[in-house]
């Protein structure tokens, strides 16, 4: 068995817990079970369209940045942090944008923490929408990201989200 060849080293941010950092590795290997990836593996699903917007195939880039609802989340987070994210908000584009940003290391670390936290909440909330009965998708994610960024990933805080 061979390990996959990746062009970029795995990112780990010391400000987020392991459960959140763990999402980044399969994200960059395109191993997240999006509807397109499940379909390519021969798993029968009713539709490969995004369950949130129903406008596009749910690929990795669409799930984490291309969906109109997710784009609005990135815009709101950008206004909160006072940064302008790239127009293509897929994970690879966000990381290239982060790597090329000319900020102090402390600011770069904090923005990266917010980006990774945003990915995690997007994925977590999308799963809750698909498998549960969560409404207010966009507002819930924005509220959760801001709350966790201020108070951290304390189990008591996560129970309120």
Is 64 domain-assigned?
A: yes
Is 28 domain-assigned?
A: yes
Is 78 domain-assigned?
A: yes
Is 1 domain-assigned?
A: no
Is 13 domain-assigned?
A: no
Number of domains within the chain: 1
Q: Check: CB of residue 64 under 8 Å from CB of residue 27.
A: yes
Is 11 domain-assigned?
A: no
Is 59 domain-assigned?
A: yes
Cα gap 157→161, rounded to integer Å: 7
Is 4 domain-assigned?
A: no
pLDDT of amino acid 98: 92
Taking the chain (161 residues) in runs of 10, the rounded mean pLDDT of each run is 52 74 83 86 87 83 88 89 89 91 90 90 83 65 74 50 44
Domain range for 142: 18-160
pLDDT of amino acid 102: 93
pLDDT of amino acid 84: 92
């Amino acid at each position: 068995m061979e390990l996959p060849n990746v062009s970029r080293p795995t990112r780990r941010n010391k400000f987020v817990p392991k459960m959140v950092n763990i999402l980044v590795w399969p994200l960059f290997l395109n191993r997240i079970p999006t509807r397109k990836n499940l379909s390519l593996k021969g798993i029968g699903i009713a539709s490969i369209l995004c369950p949130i917007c129903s406008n596009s195939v749910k690929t990795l880039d669409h799930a984490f940045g291309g969906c109109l609802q997710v784009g609005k989340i990135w815009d709101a987070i950008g206004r909160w942090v006072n940064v302008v994210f790239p127009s293509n908000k897929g994970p690879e584009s966000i990381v290239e944008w982060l790597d090329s940003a000319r900020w102090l290391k402390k600011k770069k670390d904090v923005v990266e923490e917010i980006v990774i936290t945003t990915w995690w909440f997007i994925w977590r909330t999308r799963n809750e929408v698909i498998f549960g009965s969560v409404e207010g998708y966009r507002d819930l994610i924005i509220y959760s990201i801001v709350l966790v960024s201020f108070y951290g990933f304390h189990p008591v805080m996560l129970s309120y989200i």
